[in-house]
């Protein structure tokens, strides 16, 4: 009996050639190989080798029976394989994809777009699967023993708050700090605590900006000491440190490293776009934010629309900026930054009444209209933003 790997596993079973043309069989097989390659770049996922999963080619596979078999070790000759991919079944059905049967529909749509190059389809498939797998694995992991179950529970509760609304950032930080107090080497908790400190400042919810900036930078630096090869941990630390004033080029390199580890990490592409925007590279920012949206169009991973809208704004493409900034406000109505960008955009377009209306909406969620904008490293971008906000707010200087 071969032991199961101690991490979530998945197999990509052979696709059926539905074209009616036997000569198209190579295309279906090639697509499976591309998807296996793309998924293999997700370091925390165990992907079954092609020569194992293709033992099921031409067979009608009973996934429920596969789930039952996956709960024990497998005998060689079923879905076992020699080498590092030996001895595992398509346990995603059991360990990762319970409750995610709806993945089949979007994947069928993606694979159906065969006019696109197969590597692009494979990347899109991996982008859809990765966040759903990670969420399901997080939920599954809540029931297994860890070194500190209380710290893990606090982390899970805080992580859910981070994604729900900007208004919950203070409570999320409080819970992350409690988790860190119980396990000072808890890398993901440190990374998200740094991110929460960043959000406190950018959302104007900090009671002491200087203290929270120092705290957030400390969390981020401690994170990097134990980040290893976790793309999510690297990305959060880089974003926080860039906002708190570290060299933005060095932080972009950290995110590049995260994306080299997992090119299908949608949030990594979003943060990369954010840092490019801050660094004064709006066109690259748009490309990276759009890559994030392509990989994960339905999963809420952050404000891609804000990055795209703000990048159009600093490029003085005001019409394109407006539509994207409205989308960003709809995504998180409690986040002040898209209101500020939109108000500044309207002001520079000469649409003063609309700019003032957006400022009034901004004041309902934040007392700060004209913020510190030092995160924008390009002086011209910073002045465009601040001057537009001053115009929108009716300030004369």
Residues 6+ apart with CB under 8 A from 100: 132, 136
CATH number for the domain running over 293-397: 1.25.40.10
pLDDT recorded at residue 210: 94
pLDDT recorded at residue 51: 57
pLDDT recorded at residue 286: 97
Whether 346 and 392 have beta carbons less than 8 Å apart is answered as yes
Closest CA to 50 of 76, 17, 3, 85: 85
pLDDT recorded at residue 23: 66
Long-range contacts of 244-250 (CB under 8 A, 24+ apart): 244/198, 244/213, 244/216, 244/217, 244/220, 245/213, 245/217, 245/374, 246/217, 248/275, 248/278, 248/279, 248/377, 249/279
List pLDDT tens digits, range 269-326: 999 999 999 999 999 999 999 999 888 775 555 589 999 999 999 999 999 999 999 9
pLDDT recorded at residue 101: 36
Whether 239 and 256 have beta carbons less than 8 Å apart is answered as no
Distance CA 225, CA 392 (A): 44
pLDDT recorded at residue 95: 33
List pLDDT tens digits, range 325-355: 999 998 888 889 999 999 999 999 999 999 9
Q: Give the CATH fold of the 151-263 domain.
A: 1.25.40
pLDDT recorded at residue 339: 97
Q: What are the residue ranges spanned by the domains of the chain?
A: 9-141, 151-263, 293-397
pLDDT recorded at residue 281: 98
pLDDT recorded at residue 131: 74
Distance CA 2, CA 82 (A): 11
- Using CB atoms within 10 Å of the CB of residue 3, give its burial: 0 to 12 exposed, 13 to 18 middle, 19+ buried: exposed
Whether 80 and 86 have beta carbons less than 8 Å apart is answered as yes
Which stretches in the chain have pLDDT values below 50? 1-2, 63-64, 66-88, 90-116, 141-146
Domains 151-263 and 293-397 alike in fold:
yes
């Amino acid at each position: 009996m071969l032991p199961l790997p101690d991490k979530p596993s998945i197999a990509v079973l052979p696709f059926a050639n539905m074209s009616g043309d036997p000569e198209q069989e190579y295309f279906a097989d090639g697509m499976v190989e591309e998807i296996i390659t793309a998924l293999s770049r997700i370091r925390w996922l165990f992907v079954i080798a092609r020569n194992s999963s293709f033992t099921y080619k031409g067979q009608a596979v009973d996934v429920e029976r596969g789930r039952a078999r996956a709960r024990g070790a497998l005998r060689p000759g079923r879905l076992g394989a020699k080498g590092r991919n030996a001895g595992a079944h398509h346990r995603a059905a059991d360990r990762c994809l319970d409750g995610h049967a709806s993945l089949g529909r979007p994947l069928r749509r993606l694979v159906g777009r065969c006019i696109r190059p197969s590597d692009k389809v494979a990347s899109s498939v991996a982008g859809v699967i990765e966040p759903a797998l990670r969420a399901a694995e997080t939920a599954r992991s809540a029931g297994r023993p860890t070194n500190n179950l209380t710290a893990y529970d606090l982390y899970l509760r805080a992580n859910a708050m981070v994604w729900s609304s900007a208004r919950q950032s203070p409570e999320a930080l409080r819970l992350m700090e409690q988790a860190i107090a119980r396990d000072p080497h808890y890398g993901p908790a440190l990374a998200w605590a740094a991110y929460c400190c960043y959000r406190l400042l950018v959302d104007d919810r900090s009671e002491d900006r200087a203290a929270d900036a120092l705290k957030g930078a400390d969390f981020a630096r401690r994170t990097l000491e134990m980040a290893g090869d976790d793309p999510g941990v690297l990305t959060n630390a880089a974003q926080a440190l860039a906002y708190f004033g570290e060299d933005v080029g060095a932080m972009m390199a950290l995110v590049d490293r995260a994306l080299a580890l997992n090119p299908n990490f949608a949030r990594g592409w979003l943060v990369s776009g954010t840092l490019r925007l801050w660094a004064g590279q709006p066109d690259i920012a748009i490309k990276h934010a759009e890559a994030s949206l392509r990989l994960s169009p339905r999963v809420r991973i952050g404000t891609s629309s804000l990055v795209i809208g703000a990048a159009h704004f600093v490029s003085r493409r005001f019409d394109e900026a407006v539509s994207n900034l409205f989308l960003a406000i709809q995504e998180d109505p409690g986040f002040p930054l898209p209101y500020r960008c939109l108000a500044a955009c309207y002001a520079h377009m000469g649409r003063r009444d609309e700019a003032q209306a957006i400022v009034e909406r901004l004041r309902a969620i934040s007392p700060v209209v004209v913020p510190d904008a030092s995160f924008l490293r390009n002086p011209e971008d910073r002045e465009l933003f601040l001057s537009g906000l001053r115009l929108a707010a009716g300030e004369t200087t």
